[in-house]
Structures are given as C-alpha cells and as structure tokens.
Amino acid sequence: MTGIRLFFALLFSSLCLATAHAQVEVRMTMGRNNFVAGESVPVSISVTNRSGQDIILQGNNRTGWLDLMVSSLSGKPLTPMGQPTFGAVKIGLGQTMSRTVDLAQIYPLQTVGNYSVYAVVRMPGQENGVMSNRLTFNSNSARTYWTQKIGLPGKPGQGREYKVLQFNSGSKTMLYAQVIDTRTGNSIKTHPLGEALVFRKPSVTLDNRQVMHVLYLISPDMWGHVRVDSAGKLLGRELHKRGAGSDPVLYTSRDGIVEVGNSIPYDPRAEAEARRKVRKASDRPTNLIN
C-alpha cells in the first residue's frame, strides 16, 4: 500500500509540474553577449500567460515571483549583492509581459570571465517555478586609452577616476566612458559610447566642474561629444560635423568652460523633420490652367 501511495504522490507531483509549465512560457533574450567589465548587462524576460485565465504574479515574505540565476561557466553560482524586489504584475489571458533587468545591479560582474544566466518565474502558490532558457555572456577587459584622478570637493579622502576605454571586438573598436570610486576601486558607472573610428584619436579633457568631455569620430564625417560627471551620470551626447576645412576640437576657455570648436552641430531629428516637410515635385498639385 505504501508503494502505491508513493507512486500516486509522484504522479501527482509530475502532473502539477507539467501543469505549471503549461500555464506560463518564460523566455529570456539579450541584445548582445559581449560586455566590458563594469557596464550594464541588460536582459529581457518575457512571460506569456497560457493558464486559461488572467494571472497576477507577486511574491511573498520569503520569495519573489522572479529570480535571475547567474553562474560562472564552470557551474559556480554567483552570490547576489542584494535581494531585488519586483512589483506585482497582472498578465491577461494569452498576453505577454516583458521586463528588462540589469544584471550588473544584482550580481558582481566586474570580474572578467564567462557567465550563464536563466530566469525562474513562480506562479501564485508555487515554490519551484518555471525556468527560462539559459543564455551565456562574457565580461571582458578593455584597454585604458585615457585616465585622470580627481578629488571630490568638500569630501576629504574621497575621489574618482575617470577612464576612457577601448575594446576591440575583432571587427570594430568600441569606446567606453567609466567612472571609478578611488576608495573602493569599484566602477560606479561604465557608459558604452558606441563604435569609434580610431584613425582619429579621441580627445578627452575635464572642465571647471570636473566633468569629463569626450570627442570621438563616429563616421568619416561625424563626431560624437559626450559629457559624464563624477557621479557617473551621462549629462549629454551631441553630434557634430566638420567645420571650416578641419576636424572638430575640444576648446577650453580661460574660465575652464569646454566647448566643441570648428564644428557644425548636427540634430538628426531636426533633419528628419525638415525632410518630411519638403514636398517632392510629384506631390505638387497639377496646374489645370493652360
């Protein structure tokens, strides 16, 4: 009798697990799988409701409805820096909910290495949850192109190190702006600036507010100008075209203000709007009077 009860208990558990997997579909995607150590690592989790009714995903005092599990490729799980909380979400019958999460805000991914990640979504009253597909990604080192340490006004012993990094993926060179806490050595923020054409060397300088300015070549006739402050905040990103016969330059005035000189500011949105307003010859009304 005991064996029969055990058989039915196992059968019931298997049916419950199969039902749980049938109720939701969990899918994880990443826009790319190569990152520079310290930058954001965004992943998107999509949950499709196949339960036959509307569902509400929400955690309890012990566990949340969503977990993201990161391990080294050798299988050693990483310890999260904290327990993230995800608010309750309602998913209608047959609908899909997507959420993007930065893994670098949850796990210490500043160490160069190869990693894997998968998501676990728990239905109401479910302990084990439904697993997503597993993805792999790399955290890479980058070459320091430029660096400068600064102190923080009014904060003795505290400082920042600005860095501009170059990462060669094999087919192109990517540029990054990084701000490091000099006391801990940890990256506060790493901003990907995009592809750079390095046959024109990037220009970097600080202004009178200790804001880092980076001017770099994006395409044969386009330069990018990026500003990052000591808190790691991206203050702005503008585009410039060549001015009167020579390349744009970073110009520092006597009072320490940094501007882009010898350039024509370029706004792609304004240009697109201007093109939209221009009528083609074929759009003009036909003159009916001879």
pLDDT for 264-277, tens place per residue? 999 877 666 656 66
> CA–CA distance from 210 to each of 184, 247, 278 (Å)?
20, 25, 43
pLDDT for 80-111, tens place per residue? 998 788 889 999 999 999 999 999 999 999 88
pLDDT at 162 over 90: yes
Q: Longest C-alpha distance within the chain, in Å?
A: 103
Give the helix/strand (H/E) hosting 9.
helix 2-23
pLDDT value of position 192: 95
Q: 96: which strand partners?
A: 48
Contact 54, 92 (CB under 8 A): yes
Distance, in Å, from the CA atom of 102 to the CA atom of 267, rounded to the nearest integer, reads 30
Q: Is 165 exposed, middle or buried (0-12, 13-18, 19+ CB in 10 A)?
A: buried
Average pLDDT, the chain: 87
Under the banding of pLDDT at 50, 70 and 90, the label for residue 25 is very high
pLDDT at 62 over 90: no
pLDDT at 243 over 90: no
pLDDT at 234 over 90: yes
pLDDT value of position 59: 80
Give the pTM.
0.78
Contact 55, 28 (CB under 8 A): no
CATH 2.60.40.2970 in the chain is located at 24-139
Question: Which 8-state DSSP code applies to residue 283?
Answer: G
pLDDT value of position 10: 37
- Percentage of residues of the chain with pLDDT beyond 90: 68
Q: Rounded to a whole number, what is the distance in angstroms from the first to the last CA of the chain?
A: 103
Q: Nearest 5°: phi and psi at 58?
A: -155, 150
pLDDT at 287 over 90: no
Distance, in Å, from the CA atom of 202 to the CA atom of 278, rounded to the nearest integer, reads 36
pLDDT for 66-88, tens place per residue? 999 999 988 899 999 987 888 89
pLDDT value of position 275: 63
Contact 176, 193 (CB under 8 A): yes
pLDDT value of position 21: 47
Q: Is 242 exposed, middle or buried (0-12, 13-18, 19+ CB in 10 A)?
A: middle
| CATH hierarchy code of domain 24-139 | 2.60.40.2970
pLDDT value of position 188: 93
Considering only residues 191 and 125, tell me which one the structure prediction assigns the higher pLDDT: 191
Question: Which 8-state DSSP code applies to residue 122?
Answer: -
pLDDT value of position 140: 93
Under the banding of pLDDT at 50, 70 and 90, the label for residue 22 is low
Token readout for 38 is: 């310290």
Q: Which residue, 137, 139, 131, 135, is CA-closest to 29?
A: 135
